[in-house]
Structure formats: structure tokens, C-alpha cells
A and B are shown apart, each in its own frame.
Chain A
Amino acid sequence: MPPPSRRWVSPARSSDCAGVAIAPPAFPQIDERIAADDGGALEFCSTCAFSQACTAQGMDKRGLRDLHVLVDHVGPFQAGDHIFREGDRFDAIAAVRAGSVKTYVIDRGGREHVLGFYLPGEVIGLDAIDDDSFTCNAVALDTVTLCRFSFPKISMLAARLPGLQQHLFRLLSRDIGRAALLAGDFTADERMAAFLIGLSRRLAARGFSPDRFHLTMARTDIANYLRLAPETVSRVLKHFQDDGVVCVDRREVELLDRARLEALAAAALRDLSPGRRDGKPAL
């Protein structure tokens, strides 16, 4: 089987000369036309988690600044760096601008439980709202940059902007749904299919390729998250590959038979009214 094609984040523009290296692969694989940008004085970052809610309210970035809701760009965090740890004081929520983040808790027996993976445009730390402190750990899986929003300020703003409040609620409920996803009695194939389809839809919602992406999380993280043994993760993917459903080359994954994956994932994802392709799956 031919290896899947891959795209680097920023295709090297020139040249044959020594010293020019292609950028290392990052997650997700970004088509240059839709690469996340830093926004501008009057535009939101293309992956901003809030841009939709705010623009819908006629609130542009300048408007936000007038309200002294300062958005800090923080990072970069390198792979393995912690963004916050359980018990850290909570005063801001953060949206992923670039890269990907894993959240997890450690149980009393010292075992790690992976709670989820967060992609550009998604918000981490929502579960801390109730507590004033973070209830889990968040670690960068690759090079990560974030937008930090002061939570008290965004709450105040939300009180004045019903659309923003609604958006916050939606983010919250999505997060809860995600955590509950894999509690059901699903086969390994179904879990893996749900994982891949879930990732694919979330990437698609942010304008990334839905069929070809790079997994930044280690096999053990996927296994932990899906409540499978690491060997099972590989075994299932191998048999998906042998059946022509996916193609896996190192961390690159290409979805070749979406229909079959969707069918397998249906039970675990519990959605699949055909209209619902808006990037708000349960995963």
C-alpha cells in the first residue's frame, strides 16, 4: 500500500540550499490556505473558540478590547510541558490556538486516566469553573499556544451578551458529553472508529482536512482514553488497515472508507442524524 501523503505545516518555499529545513510535522496538518493566523487588530484568530459567538453579537476584537477583556496569547508550550495541574488556582479559561493538549487525572493508585484531547479552537479548563481550582492536569502533546481569557471578565461580558453566554453553555455541555462518551458497552472496533470519526469531525469543523491527519497523542494515551490495551489499539488499526478502511504511516492517519467508519462509530457517537455534521459531535 502506498504511504499516505502528508503535508507539513509550512511547506518550505525555497530551495535546495543548505540550512533550509522543512518545518517539522505538527498537529493537525494544516493546509496553508487555512493555516491558523494570529488575527489582527480587527480580526479574530481563524481558530478562535469565541469568534463566532462574539461576531454574532456585533462585537469585534476592538470592541472586546474596549471592554478590557484582554486576551493573552500564551505559549509556546513544548511537548510534555504542563499547562496547568490539578489544584492550580482557576482564573482563566484557555482556548487552543495551535497544537493539541491532553487532559488527565491520576487516581489514588497512581494510575493515569486520560480525560480528553483538545484541538485548535477548543477550550480547556471548563471543568474548573465550579471549583475555583483545576480538577485535572493539562499537558501539551506538541508545540502548543493558547489564548487565555480572564474568566471573571468573560463572565461579566457574557451577562451582557446572551449569545456569548449561550456559546459558553454549549462549550460546557460538549465537554461533559465528551467525558461521558466511552462509558458504554462498545467493542474495540466501535471505540476506535468513534475516536477517529470524532477527531475527523472536530478537525473538519475548524477547516482542517477531515481525512488526513497526524496523531500527536501516543498509542498509550489513545488506549487509556478508549479503555483498551495498547496492543488492541494497534491490532484494531492494523485490521482497519488490512480492510482498506484506514492507512497508517507512523503518526499519519488517512481515512479511506469513511462510510464504514461512520457506521461502526454510530452507536458510540449517539448522534448521526444526517444533518449533524457541524463539528459538534459528542467525542
Chain B
Amino acid sequence: MSSPLPFNADLLRRYDRPGPRYTSYPTAPQFSKDFGETQFREAVLASNGDPIPRRLSLYVHVPFCLDPCFYCGCNRIITRDKGRAETYLARLYREIDLTAALFDRDREVIQLHFGGGTPNFLSPAQLREIVDTLRRQFHFSDSRERDISIELDPRFISPADVIELAGIGFNRASLGVQDFDPQVQEAVNRIQGVEETRAVIDACRAGGFKSVNVDLIYGLPKQNVEGFARTLDTVVEMRPDRLAVYGYAHLPTLFKAQNQIEAADLPTPQAKLALLQLAIEKLTVAGYVYVGMDHFALPEDELARAQAHGGLHRNFMGYTTHADSDLIGLGVSAISHIGDTFSQNPRDLAVWQQAIDEGRLPVARGMRLNGDDQLRADLIQRLMCQGEVLISALEQRYGIEFETYFAKALERLRPLVADGLVGIEPGRITVSPRGRLLLRNIAMCFDRYFDHAAAVTSLGFSRAI
């Protein structure tokens, strides 16, 4: 998957339809209220019972933001009241107590990630307290590959704070930038200077962080090729190890904040594609490798290297080098993935708090994957990470006859094959270079839950491009 990334505007336009991003399969809308605390406990118990129990990844959700960015579709709470952090943390510690007690002590934590919201709504001292609490309650791996990562809003953190984070053990950071174009920043209510951003990246480097990621978004209001070109040049010059370039999905009926965006200010579909093309060209020229699903990395970065040797994985936190681990989500709306189950905490802060105050694990919904789900999840993971599916491997592993079992999916795939997005050869399905920007369209063909008939009009998912 390391050949150049061809850009075909006509093709991308034709395939621009709403669909899931497959950070999980099945996707979160399939989770059910029938899956609650009892099922979660059973899942943990079963996972402890594996002969070699999986290692653990921890995710901590910090829901607070000081200011609303208008494009945002995340679950967050806008407040200037820093005091809210303390009441939140009191519950978080209780949740950590309740949860950690379920896991066998010899299960090593290999990854800890803070997402939001804005994790640096919390002070370095508060973040230190969380990390220390988790280190007491879980067994953190001493391995060099153990990561502690955080999403940072560069507007609200000083270089000195970043150095302090490094001292706590943070070693990867992801910075939101979106676009440096002032008129775009104004339209999305996120005014962020180049110099303050550069200072945070420099501080990460000085602190010895293993990688810095920068998030960009194309398709924002008032965005144009000239401004975005300057942003890309500026960012490339900062040389982050990883870059994510997301397409903006305007779904104001789902995400209230997006009502603040004037639809008239949004770029046309053609203009949006031009922005994507620009990003791909500039990043490719600058030496970045396309990892898949909006993500780029420098060739020497672990992510790019993992992709080259087939060691790439994907979970709720995006692409990762950490092989299958059980994921424990902590905090409001956080998602867990234990064994063959997914589960999610309440999205509503009050509901989450109440469960914890009553001494219950705050599991709101979830699901146990059946054999069919596991097979499709495996297949989609291979498409997204390796760009290739070996049919015999799946047939052997799941005891199926591929062509019969996936007759309908293969039928849905036929036009994509005709368009050269994907190749079906004897024994394998391969994503072709033209298909790499349309991974989710390919994956959708194998999604049993996806309403293929209603896809064209659905508002439930962001668009593919």
C-alpha cells in the first residue's frame, strides 16, 4: 500500500456518499441497551480467563472544552468553569476503582490515551493525578512500546506544561489545527496562531515525545485552495510525524454546534475535492506516506513502518501499532472493547455520574459480536490496515466458503471492481491505488448492518470524502 496515491476527482465525486468510518465493526449505532453492567462483567471475566490474557489499552474521555468549535461532532461540554473538572475527576476515580478491580493484576497496560473534548482543559497536575491513579490501579508495562498519548488544543497549553506532561510519562501528542487561514478560523470559532502551535510542537520534541500528530480538516466554511495551501506549507514545515486530514461532514441536525456554520460558506463538492487533492499532493511531495483512512505519516514513523510490514491495527483511537488488546474506556461516553464485546458509557454526564454515585459500572449499551460479526470485523480490519484480504485465511479461520458466504457483498463490490477501486483475483481481494481513498466504500459492501438501499439519503454518517 505504499505506491503513490492517485487522485481521480470524478471517481471521488461519484462515490461521495455517507458511511461509517469503521473505527469499529459493527459500528456504534448497533449497540443495544440489552448489554449492560452484567454483560460487561462477564466479558471481563472471560477475558481474564484466556490462557494468555490480552494486554490492556486505556482511554480516558475528558468532555470539557473552553470554547465551541463549530465543526465539532464530538460529545463535549462547553464551560469556562474549571471547577467542573474536580467533580468530574471524583467520579472518574470511582469508575477507575470499580473497573480496575475486575481485571487480573498481571494484565499489562500497553497504551493510555486521553481524548475529548479537550484533555488539556485539565491542568498538568490533574493529568498527573489521573495517570498516577491508573498506575496504582493497573499494571503498566515497562516496555518501550508502552504509550501515553493525549489530544492537545495548542491554544490552551504552554510549552512549560508540555514539558511537565513529558515528565509524567506522556510520549505522544495529537494537536488540532484544522486550518490556519484566519477567515476559516473565524467561521469555525477557532482562532489559533501559527506560533503558539509551533511552540507546542517544539516543546513536544524537546520533551522527547515519540510522535506528534496534527489534525487538519478540509471542507470547512470559507476554506479555499490558496489559504489551505498556505496552511499545508506551514504544517509541513513543522514536520509532524503524523497527519490526519479529515473531510468535514456538515450534519447540523445531528451536531448542534454545526448550526452556527453558514451552509452558504461551505465549499462546493468540487471545491472540497480540490482541497483534498491539494492536501494529498503537498503531503506526498513533502515525503508523507498515506497510511489509510485520512491518515499520513513520515516513512520512518512507526505507523508507516507498521503498515509496510502488516503490523497496523485500527481501533476507536484510530490507527495504532498495538496488536489486539482489550480496550477499557473511562469517562462519559467512552467506548470499551473487551474480548468479543463492545460497550459504551452513557453519553449524558448526569446519567454517567448517577451510575457511579450508585456504585454501578456506567455501561449504557453495547453488544456481543457473533461469529458473523467477528468474521466481518476481521475482514474490514484487513481491508483498512493491509489493503488486502486473503480469502483462504478467512475461510480456514471461520470455516466458510467465501464466495457463497459473501455472495451479496461480492455483488455489491462488482461496480467498485469495474471502477478499478478493488481487484478480485483468485484467492485474494486487493484494494487498488485508486481505491485507497475510498476504503470505507469498499468496507461498506461487507457491512451486514449498513442499509445499502437507504445509503444515498441517510444523514446518519459523515460522507466518504
B51 touches A24 (CB 8 A): no
A16 touches B409 (CB 8 A): yes
Task: Specify which chain A residues have a CB less than 8 angstroms from the CB of B398 in the assembled complex.
Answer: 6, 8, 11, 22
Task: Specify which chain B residues have a CB less than 8 angstroms from the CB of A6 in the assembled complex.
Answer: 397-399
Task: Specify which chain A residues have a CB less than 8 angstroms from the CB of B46 in the assembled complex.
Answer: 218
A14 touches B372 (CB 8 A): no
Bits for B31-54, please: 1 = Cβ < 8 Å to A, else 0.
000000000000000101111111
Given A12-B371, A14-B404, A16-B406, the answer on whether A218 and B48 have CB atoms closer than 8 Å is: yes
* Complex-state Cα separation, A30 to B104, whole angstroms: 31
A17 touches B405 (CB 8 A): no
Tell yes or no: A233 within 8 A of B by CB.
yes
Chain A residues numbered 179-235 whose CB sits less than 8 Å from any CB in chain B: 215, 217-222, 230-231, 233-234
Bits for B72-105, please: 1 = Cβ < 8 Å to A, else 0.
0000000000000000000000000000000010
Bits for B427-452, please: 1 = Cβ < 8 Å to A, else 0.
00000000000000000000011000
A234 touches B51 (CB 8 A): yes
B408 CB to closest chain A CB (Å) equals 4
Interface residues of A, dominant DSSP: loop
* Complex-state Cα separation, A14 to B53, whole angstroms: 33
Q: Which residue of A lies closest to B310 (CB)?
A: A2
Task: Specify which chain A residues have a CB less than 8 angstroms from the CB of B50 in the assembled complex.
Answer: 219, 250-251
Chain A residues numbered 16-68 whose CB sits less than 8 Å from any CB in chain B: 16-18, 20-25
Given A3-B397, A7-B399, A8-B399, the answer on whether A20 and B372 have CB atoms closer than 8 Å is: yes
A250 CB to closest chain B CB (Å) equals 5
Given A22-B375, A219-B49, the answer on whether A15 and B404 have CB atoms closer than 8 Å is: yes
Task: Specify which chain B residues have a CB less than 8 angstroms from the CB of A253 in the assembled complex.
Answer: 51
Tell yes or no: B125 within 8 A of A by CB.
no
B69 CB to closest chain A CB (Å) equals 38
Q: Which residue of A lies closest to B104 (CB)?
A: A230
B106 touches A11 (CB 8 A): no
A191 CB to closest chain B CB (Å) equals 14
A14 touches B371 (CB 8 A): no
Q: How large is the interface on A (under 10, 10 to 19, 20 to 34, 35 or more residues)?
A: 35 or more
B289 CB to closest chain A CB (Å) equals 24
* Complex-state Cα separation, A12 to B106, whole angstroms: 37
A24 touches B448 (CB 8 A): no
B399 touches A233 (CB 8 A): no
Given A6-B398, A15-B405, the answer on whether A233 and B51 have CB atoms closer than 8 Å is: yes
The residue that B52 contacts in the complex, of A18, A217, A248, with Cβ under 8 A, is A248
Chain A residues numbered 94-131 whose CB sits less than 8 Å from any CB in chain B: none
Q: How large is the interface on B (under 10, 10 to 19, 20 to 34, 35 or more residues)?
A: 20 to 34
B395 CB to closest chain A CB (Å) equals 9
Q: Which residue of B lies closest to A3 (CB)?
A: B397
Tell yes or no: A5 within 8 A of B by CB.
yes
A18 touches B448 (CB 8 A): yes
Tell yes or no: A167 within 8 A of B by CB.
no
B339 touches A250 (CB 8 A): yes
Chain B residues numbered 383-418 whose CB sits less than 8 Å from any CB in chain A: 393, 396-401, 404-409
* Complex-state Cα separation, A230 to B407, whole angstroms: 44
Task: Specify which chain A residues have a CB less than 8 angstroms from the CB of B406 in the assembled complex.
Answer: 16
B51 touches A25 (CB 8 A): no
The residue that B51 contacts in the complex, of A5, A18, A237, with Cβ under 8 A, is A237
A218 CB to closest chain B CB (Å) equals 3
B106 touches A22 (CB 8 A): no
Given A8-B399, A22-B398, A231-B106, the answer on whether A17 and B51 have CB atoms closer than 8 Å is: no
B405 touches A218 (CB 8 A): no
Task: Specify which chain A residues have a CB less than 8 angstroms from the CB of B143 in the assembled complex.
Answer: none
The residue that B370 contacts in the complex, of A15, A24, A221, with Cβ under 8 A, is A24
B405 touches A14 (CB 8 A): yes
Tell yes or no: A165 within 8 A of B by CB.
no
Tell yes or no: A150 within 8 A of B by CB.
no
B400 touches A22 (CB 8 A): yes
B311 CB to closest chain A CB (Å) equals 11
Task: Specify which chain A residues have a CB less than 8 angstroms from the CB of B51 in the assembled complex.
Answer: 215, 219, 222, 233-234, 237, 248, 251, 253
Task: Specify which chain B residues have a CB less than 8 angstroms from the CB of A16 in the assembled complex.
Answer: 405-409, 448
B52 touches A12 (CB 8 A): no
Which of B48, B51, B52, B398 gathers the greatest number of chain A CB atoms within 10 Å?
Answer: B51
The residue that B371 contacts in the complex, of A24, A234, A248, with Cβ under 8 A, is A24
Which of A13, A16, A24, A221 gathers the greatest number of chain B CB atoms within 10 Å?
Answer: A16
Q: Which residue of B lies closest to A16 (CB)?
A: B408
Chain A residues numbered 60-85 whose CB sits less than 8 Å from any CB in chain B: none
* Complex-state Cα separation, A222 to B406, whole angstroms: 38
B167 CB to closest chain A CB (Å) equals 31
Task: Specify which chain A residues have a CB less than 8 angstroms from the CB of B339 in the assembled complex.
Answer: 250
Task: Specify which chain A residues have a CB less than 8 angstroms from the CB of B106 in the assembled complex.
Answer: 230-231, 234
Chain B residues numbered 17-34 whose CB sits less than 8 Å from any CB in chain A: none
A46 CB to closest chain B CB (Å) equals 19
Task: Specify which chain A residues have a CB less than 8 angstroms from the CB of B48 in the assembled complex.
Answer: 218-220
* Complex-state Cα separation, A14 to B405, whole angstroms: 5
A117 CB to closest chain B CB (Å) equals 13
Bits for B290-329, please: 1 = Cβ < 8 Å to A, else 0.
0000000000000000000000000000000000000000
A12 touches B393 (CB 8 A): no
A6 CB to closest chain B CB (Å) equals 5
The residue that B49 contacts in the complex, of A2, A218, A241, with Cβ under 8 A, is A218
* Complex-state Cα separation, A184 to B52, whole angstroms: 25
Bits for A235-273, please: 1 = Cβ < 8 Å to B, else 0.
001100100000010110100000000000000000000
> Can you list 26 A-B contacts with CB-CB less than 8 angstroms, sorted by A residue number?
A8-B398, A8-B399, A11-B398, A11-B401, A12-B371, A14-B405, A15-B404, A15-B405, A16-B406, A16-B408, A18-B449, A21-B371, A22-B370, A24-B370, A25-B371, A215-B51, A219-B53, A220-B49, A222-B51, A230-B104, A231-B106, A234-B51, A248-B52, A250-B50, A251-B50, A253-B51
The 8 nearest A-B residue pairs measured at CB: A22-B371, A218-B49, A11-B399, A16-B408, A5-B396, A21-B370, A231-B106, A7-B399
Other CB < 8 Å A-B pairs besides A16-B448, A234-B106, 4 of them? A8-B371, A16-B406, A24-B370, A251-B50
